Structure formats: C-alpha cells, structure tokens
Amino acid sequence: MTEKHLSNQSFTDLDLPSPLLHGASDAGFEYCTPIQAEALPIALAGQDVAGQAKTGTGKTAAFLLALFAYLLRHPAPADRRTQQPLGLVLSPTRELAIQIHKDAQVLGRHTPYKLALIYGGTGYETQRKTLEQGVDILIGTPGRLIDYFKQKLFDLSALQVVVLDEADRMFDLGFIRDIRYLFRRMPPPEQRLNMLFSATLSLRVNELAYEHMNNPQVIKIESEHLTVDQVTEKIYFPSNEEKIPLLLNVLQQVGAVRTLVFVNTKHGAENVEAWLRGNDYVTGVLSGNVPQRKRERLLQDFKSGDVPVLVATDVAARGLHIPAVSHVINYDLPQDPEDYVHRVGRTARAGASGDAISFVCETYAFSLEDIEQYIGHKIPVDKIDHEALVEPKPPVRPKRRSRHSPTKKQAEQGKRTRRPKAGGHRHMKTAHKDAGSTKPAKDEQRPKRKKQPRTTEEARKQANVKTAARKPIKAKPNDNKKPAKIRRGVKEKPAIG
C-alpha cells in the first residue's frame, strides 16, 4: 500500500468521540483519504452529505464513523423500543452489505450499539430472531429489509441516521422504488442525519438526494481520470476464437495470483470456467444464480488465495473490497461504460497499483468508443503474439448431481436414492412401464363389474318411471265437490234446448 492516496488530515485531529478513535486505531487508520477528510467534518457537524468518489477510496469508513458519532452525541429517547433501530445503512448487493458490516464491527467495537446484518439468500430465521431480540443499527439490502418491515419486526419511527451507499447502483438494479418506500416511513429529513455516497452523482441520484435529504452538502473528489490513477490499462483486439487462447496466455504471463475475470453473462462465465478447469486452473464462478453461502465461501477462498482466478459477472463489480487483486481481465467488454469503471476499480484499491486488461472482440467492440469517451482518455492497445498462443486443452464441465441422487450427508448415512428399484414394490398404474409392456399384467388388473342386460319391457317401465318423476303432478277433478253457492237475488237461468 502506498501513501499517495492519503491526505494530511489525521483522524486524531477530527472531532471524533474517544471510542471511535480507538476503533480507527484498531483498523489501522492514521490519516484520512480525500473523501474522508472532506466529508467527515461536515457530517460530524450534523449536516447531510452527498459524496462522490471513486471506488476503493474509503467511503465506507467515512459514513460509519459519522453514523457512530451522531448516535453517541444524540442519545435515544427513553420511550424508544428495542425494535426501533437508530441507524440504517442500505446497500445494493449482499457482498457489499457483508463488507460494511465487517467494517462496522471493527470501527464500532468500543461502542454499545448492537449491529444486525440483513440480506437475502440465506439465514431467514436467524435474521428474524435477531430483529425480534432488538437492534440499534441495521445494515442490509432493501428487499429483505422490506420483507421484515411488513411483518412488523421493526419500525423506522425512531431512526436518527440513514446512509445510502452506491446510490447509482440502486437505480441500475431497480431498487429505487424500495428505497422510496423505506424513506417515506422514516421521520422527516430535518429530524435525522442523511448521507449518500456514490461513485457517480448522476441527475437521478441528485434528484433522490434533494427529495429525501435536508439540503445536503455535495462533495466531489475529482481526478484526472474516472479510473484509478494507479491502474495500468491496455486492450487487445482478438477474434472470438482467439479469446480463450489469449486468456490462457495472459494468465500465464501475469502469474494468476489473484485475478478477476469479468464476463457479461452467467452462461459465458460457466463456459470460461470450464476452459480454465480443463487447463489446470483452480477457479470458480460468481454470478447471480450462485447460492449465497457458496458465494461467501468462494469469496473467502479467493481472498485467501486458495482460488487464484475468479470468473464473475457484474454482480461482483461494485462494492466488493478484495485486497491485493493484482489483475482485472475484461474477457467481455462491458456494454455500460460505468460498469467498466467499477470493474477496473476492483484492483489498485487503497493506493495500491494494478492492471486492467480488456479483450475487444467482435461481439462487444462497439462498446469501446463509449467507454473511452466516458473515462476521458484512450486506452493503450497491445498487439497479440499469435505464435505464442497455445492450443488449449478441452474444457472440463463440473459434474452436476441428479435431483434423484442422495446428498453427501445421506450417502454417509447409507440412505438409498429416491428412485425405486426394479424388483421393489411398484405402483400398479406405472408397473407396466417398468416392465416394458403396453398394458398392466392380468393379475394386477382390477376386475370390472359387468352390468346385467335388461329386457325390453323392463327398460320401458324404467323409462316411464323416470319420465313420471320429472313431470309435475296435476290435481285430478273431484266428482264429490259441491257446486258453487248462488248469489242471493239471482236466479239460475234454465238451459236452452
């Protein structure tokens, strides 16, 4: 790590409470980064902040220290319930929420506040019990938070601090309606401290800030380039058939210690993973359909070096703090220029240096002009040494377990598969299918009751009975009925003839 990314502002010179100075010391912080030096004095004074800075410049520590300081100086009211959190940090991705929670545990180690990490994909009942026991600071993703909120496990009426991290990513992932839903159930902006941080402050992000914040102070840490200055960028122009050989050649040259390979689709990620496995590389895939526990385990293995090459889609492009990523390879050039900035930002973090290599293939070459226009400079071009490209070994696809086969735990317990054996008990309706015949066996057929034939006379009588039952019964004339009485004074006329 270099010191060029730090400012002359020391944490000890800031107006931080003593517990937070101890937390910053535990985290190894001595001098502030530019975004911390600009944002912390304003937030510590109780004014809202909308900050823009490149990824990996210390935004997380800035808003966490400001959050803890505000809560320490503004004690909760006496009638506040344990299910009423005081602070809320919203993150667009699970991985970013996990990273924020880890940083909060270090910086807030000497504070009395109870943290809760809420995100989807795993731990539903565990997170539910945590909320039922009470929490002071909530850190999580919007979807799972709204789920628990509608179950009335917590309410936001006592909220004092709210932080929106990676605001531009919230729009990209379609979370903006969820964000507005939560904002409208909080106290008014004047009664809380609001902080918004993003890599880019676009018009829609500024609109959100001025709608749900109290006259925020805008802070922009500008640079000559949108990409980190310590990143060395270059591009190749391979054909689609040359991408895999070129990728293997680049990995062989750089050493593949801790390398991120970005692709645009999860199908493409699985394809690249198969080629790397077939060519003796230990790798894994990080995409949207990977279960949460597997994603966390894969990221931990990548950080520890057990998995030197990680193939990922843009789900890993933002918010992940993975130290010492030496190389970022854009196997597929991103179609969104902002995604290029965030991909490249996974390397050269916290002042370190790194390399970003991009393949401009036939499929995604049209994105290059927009990317260079967005970042404000041309990316150097490197020539491909076609003679150095080796013939790759065939890909190796991971074996997928059948849904009928037992799990690993069931196999250890000696349990059999769920599929019935041929000699076992079979259902009568499907037994003939296993036997290969078109009809069930005679001994397995149910005897049908035969109807006795009726004679013509019996059938006619039965039809007459049914017809009579359907027709309404008419009253017959009664011969014994008395004649109607003759009115007085009126004589009956004799019949003529």
Residue 492 pLDDT level (bands cut at 50, 70, 90) = very low
| Mean pLDDT, rounded, for 190-210 | 87
CB neighbour list of residue 40: distance below 8 Å, 6 or more residues apart: 14, 32, 62, 65, 66
**CB of 246 closer than 8 Å to CB of 236:** yes
pLDDT greater than 60 at residue 51: yes
pLDDT greater than 60 at residue 149: yes
Per CATH, 11-220 and 231-388 having the same topology is answered yes
Q: What is the largest CA-CA distance in the chain?
A: 140
**Distance separating alpha carbons of residues 157 and 172, to the nearest angstrom:** 28
The phi, psi pair for 221, rounded to 5°, reads -95, 95
The residue ranking higher by pLDDT, 8 or 347, is 8
**Distance separating alpha carbons of residues 338 and 319, to the nearest angstrom:** 13
43: amino acid identity, one letter = A
The residue ranking higher by pLDDT, 436 or 368, is 368
pLDDT greater than 50 at residue 2: no
Distances (CA, A) of 484 to 177, 480, 487, 492, 495: 85, 12, 9, 12, 17
| Mean pLDDT, rounded, for 279-308 | 86
**CB of 285 closer than 8 Å to CB of 269:** yes
Q: Which residue has the tokens 């790759």?
A: 392
| Mean pLDDT, rounded, for 272-295 | 88
The CATH class given to the 231-388 domain equals alpha beta
**Distance separating alpha carbons of residues 150 and 155, to the nearest angstrom:** 9
**Distance separating alpha carbons of residues 310 and 333, to the nearest angstrom:** 17
The phi, psi pair for 345, rounded to 5°, reads -70, -5
pLDDT greater than 90 at residue 133: yes
Neighbour count for residue 385 (Cβ, 10 Å): 9
| Mean pLDDT, rounded, for 402-407 | 58
pLDDT at site 336: 87
The residue ranking higher by pLDDT, 495 or 5, is 5
pLDDT at site 471: 55
Residue 38 pLDDT level (bands cut at 50, 70, 90) = very high
**Distance separating alpha carbons of residues 400 and 483, to the nearest angstrom:** 98
Q: For the chain, give the number of residues.
A: 497
The residue ranking higher by pLDDT, 181 or 231, is 181
In which region does residue 346 sit, left (phi positive, over 0), alpha (psi from -120 to 50) or beta (all else)? alpha
Residue 300 pLDDT level (bands cut at 50, 70, 90) = confident
The residue ranking higher by pLDDT, 360 or 491, is 360
pLDDT at site 344: 86
> What is the four-CA torsion angle of 453, 457, 459, 464, rounded to 10 degrees?
-170
Residue 467 pLDDT level (bands cut at 50, 70, 90) = low
> What is the four-CA torsion angle of 81, 181, 295, 309, rounded to 10 degrees?
-130
**Distance separating alpha carbons of residues 266 and 295, to the nearest angstrom:** 14
pLDDT greater than 80 at residue 319: no
pLDDT at site 96: 87
pLDDT greater than 70 at residue 446: no
pLDDT at site 32: 93
**CB of 237 closer than 8 Å to CB of 102:** no
**Distance separating alpha carbons of residues 93 and 376, to the nearest angstrom:** 28
Distances (CA, A) of 301 to 295, 297, 311: 10, 6, 13
**Distance separating alpha carbons of residues 457 and 335, to the nearest angstrom:** 86
Kindly list the domain boundaries of the chain, sorted by start residue: 11-220, 231-388
Average pLDDT taken over every residue of the chain: 82
Q: What percent of the chain has pLDDT over 70?
A: 75
The residue ranking higher by pLDDT, 449 or 190, is 190
For domain 11-220, give the fold: Rossmann fold (3.40.50)
Q: Which residue has the tokens 């504070």?
A: 111
pLDDT at site 410: 62
The residue ranking higher by pLDDT, 130 or 7, is 130
| Mean pLDDT, rounded, for 385-405 | 77
| Mean pLDDT, rounded, for 408-428 | 55
**Distance separating alpha carbons of residues 323 and 257, to the nearest angstrom:** 12
Q: What percent of the chain has pLDDT over 90?
A: 48
Chain center to CA of 488: 100
pLDDT at site 341: 84
CB neighbour list of residue 235: distance below 8 Å, 6 or more residues apart: 357, 358, 359, 360, 368, 379, 380, 381, 382
pLDDT at site 249: 93
The phi, psi pair for 99, rounded to 5°, reads -65, -40
Please tell me whether the overall predicted TM-score, pTM, comes out greater than 0.75 for this model: no
